[in-house]
């Protein structure tokens, strides 16, 4: 099994591409060892000292560290991923749902058409680009011209995420939807 790695805009996060589907639907994020118990793979990766977050996308795994050098952490992470897939173990425990829904969406019924357009733009133009950087972004709400988004994986805590929100996503949404004034991370 050959696992490729890619740098992300977040220097604390590295993207691992195992050459197979990781999450056929949705995404999964574990921000600590306790939330990792829903996934045998995440549990295994949290045994590597310095790992602070694990995110699974369709065909990638993003791992975030708090300290240590990638040159020292990477072999242990690669080994954990390889052992997991070679053993044929499930990515998520039976009965565990993917974490696409992190809470209730909120918006006024009068804004339903705007919200539908926001979601379509997120799905077709923004999420694929963000996934390319090892993360994900989901809609949480729309109120008084402000779009609320949840950033996950490499995007969560990334130094350039504010610029991505302001200059990329906000400008794109404003271009198509004059009702949008601002974009904020939740």
Domain extent listing, the chain: 4-87, 109-185
- Inform me whether the pLDDT recorded for 169 exceeds 80: yes
At residue 131, the pLDDT reads: 84
156, 139 in Cβ contact below 8 A? no
Mean pLDDT for the chain overall = 88
Pick 75 or 126 by higher pLDDT.
75
At residue 184, the pLDDT reads: 86
pTM to 2 decimals?
Answer: 0.80
At residue 99, the pLDDT reads: 55
CATH architecture of the domain 109-185 equals: 2-Layer Sandwich (3.30)
Q: How confident is the model at residue 96 (pLDDT cuts 50, 70, 90)?
A: low
User: Whole-angstrom Cα distance, residue 182 to residue 118?
Assistant: 12
Question: Domain spanning 4-87 has what CATH number?
Answer: 3.30.1370.70
> What are 157's strand-pairing partners?
none
Question: Which residues, 6 or more positions from 96, have their beta carbon under 8 angstroms from its beta carbon?
Answer: 38, 39
148, 132 in Cβ contact below 8 A? no
Q: How confident is the model at residue 68 (pLDDT cuts 50, 70, 90)?
A: confident
Give CA 24 to chain center in angstroms.
Answer: 14
């Amino acid at each position: 099994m050959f696992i490729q790695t890619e740098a992300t805009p977040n220097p604390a996060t590295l993207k691992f591409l195992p050459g197979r589907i990781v999450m056929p639907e949705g995404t999964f994020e574990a921000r600590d060892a306790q939330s990792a118990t829903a996934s045998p793979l995440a549990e295994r990766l949290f045994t590597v000292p310095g790992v602070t977050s694990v995110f699974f996308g369709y065909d990638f795994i993003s791992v975030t560290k708090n300290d240590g050098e990638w040159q020292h952490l990477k072999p242990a992470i690669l080994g954990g991923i390889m052992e997991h897939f070679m053993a044929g173990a499930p990515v998520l425990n039976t009965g565990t749902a993917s974490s696409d829904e992190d809470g209730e969406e909120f918006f006024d019924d009068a804004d339903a058409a705007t919200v539908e357009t926001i979601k379509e733009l997120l799905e077709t133009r923004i999420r694929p680009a963000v996934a390319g950087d090892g993360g994900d972004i989901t809609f949480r709400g729309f109120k008084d011209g402000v779009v609320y988004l949840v950033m996950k994986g490499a995007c969560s805590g990334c130094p350039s995420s504010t610029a991505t929100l302001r200059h990329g996503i906000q400008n794109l949404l404003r271009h198509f939807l004059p009702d949008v004034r601002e974009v904020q991370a939740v």
